[in-house]
Amino acid sequence: MTHNDIDTLVNSFIVDTAKGEVNPRVQQVTVRLLGDLFKAIEDLDLQPSEIWKGLEYLAETGASHEMGLLAAGLGLERFIDIRADEAEARAGLTGGTPRTIEGPLYVAGAPVCQGFARLDDGTESAEGEVLFMQGTVMDANGKPLPGATVEVWHANLMGNYSFFDKSQSAFNLRRTIVTDSQGNYQFRSIVPSGYGCPPQGSTQQLLNLLGRHGRRPAHIHFFVYADGYRKLTTQINIDGDEYLWDDFAFASREGLVPQVKKISAPDQLDSKQLSKPFSSIDFNFTLHKE
């Protein structure tokens, strides 16, 4: 069929058969996506077995709760971010902390703490390295924002996230921190490890066929928001990770790789009541006005 014939066919299937109330946006999107799919089937001469295999693949990906992971791995989530960046640039907004993808592993409802939080439940204290991270939430003029919210979540030493990994305690490595009267936040945690897609999962299966790995560099996720300001979704990467610029989810960005300071001076260890050197990251978040 020609592409014109396909457009006519899709319209006859979807638009001409409409009887009751129509949601014009849903109709528009359905016609467009279906038309594009049919054209791809025609152009690639996709065989019925391949088409059914594709549908089975998506069904299986959904059934195993990997649709979000697949969206990250195919760059769809990154593409959505690029479009958001472009919209911000058009609105004349520059200089805020760069956004990057949320990913599929956020869980709402983490415990709320004022100013400071310890994220880890201590189960990996023996093997893990302590991390302190701190900074200020501010507006584009550098004015600190007291009472702003910093939601933070990251993986453990196995690269796994609590809730999805049922072996971890509830909300391990997840907290909601409210900035103090100076707009400051601080947390104590352990330095996370990188993430790898489940090796037998459907996302990794496709990545294998594409000759791609499914690894992410070590990173920490954030939502940062305050009344009257745009919500920021971002991450920082742990510098030095071998996958830092080879992230399967394309989320690494200039400006989101803070320096990691190694603290080993006895007086500084004493002040934190620690016996081993720890890492420290200073990082400020800059929000745009709504």
Q: Does 220 bind ligand MBD (CB under 6 A)?
A: no
Binding piece for ligand MBD, criterion CB under 6 A, among 98-106, 173-181, 238-246, 282-290: 98-106
User: Per-residue contact track with ligand MBD, 18 to 57, x per CB under 6 A?
Assistant: ----------------------------------------
| DSSP symbol at 36 | H
The identity of residue 93, as a single letter, is L
Place of tokens 């992971």: 69
Nearest distance, CB of residue 139 and ligand MBD, angstroms: 27
Paired residues of 112 in beta bridges: 176
Residue (103 or 183) nearer to Fe ion, CB: 103
d(CA 179, CA 192): 23
Tokens of 132: 């302190």
Residue 247 neighbours by CB distance under 10 Å: 24
Site size toward ligand MBD (CB under 6 A) is 10
Q: Does 216 bind ligand MBD (CB under 6 A)?
A: yes
Contact 173, 122 (CB under 8 A): no
H-helix or E-strand containing 205?
helix 202-209
Residue (101 or 287) nearer to Fe ion, CB: 101
Nearest distance, CB of residue 188 and ligand MBD, angstroms: 21
Tokens of 68: 């979000």
Residue (216 or 253) nearer to ligand MBD, CB: 216
Q: Does 150 bind ligand MBD (CB under 6 A)?
A: no
H-helix or E-strand containing 261?
strand 261-263
State which of residues 69, 190, 218, 236 lies at the interface with ligand MBD (CB under 6 A): 69
The identity of residue 205, as a single letter, is Q
Could you tell me which of 108, 97, 104, 257 has the C-alpha nearest to residue 175? 108
Q: Which does 132 bind (CB under 5 to 8 A by kind): ligand MBD, Fe ion, none?
A: none
d(CA 8, CA 119): 57
> Would you tell me which residues interact with Fe ion (CB under 5 A)?
103
| Residue 261 φ/ψ, nearest 5 degrees | -90, 135
Nearest distance, CB of residue 104 and ligand MBD, angstroms: 6
Q: Which does 249 bind (CB under 5 to 8 A by kind): ligand MBD, Fe ion, none?
A: ligand MBD
Place of tokens 């459907």: 202
Residue (168 or 179) nearer to ligand MBD, CB: 168
Binding piece for ligand MBD, criterion CB under 6 A, among 13-21, 29-37, 102-110, 168-176: 102-110
Contact 158, 179 (CB under 8 A): no
Residues binding ligand MBD (CB under 6 A): 69, 72, 101, 103-105, 195, 216, 249, 251
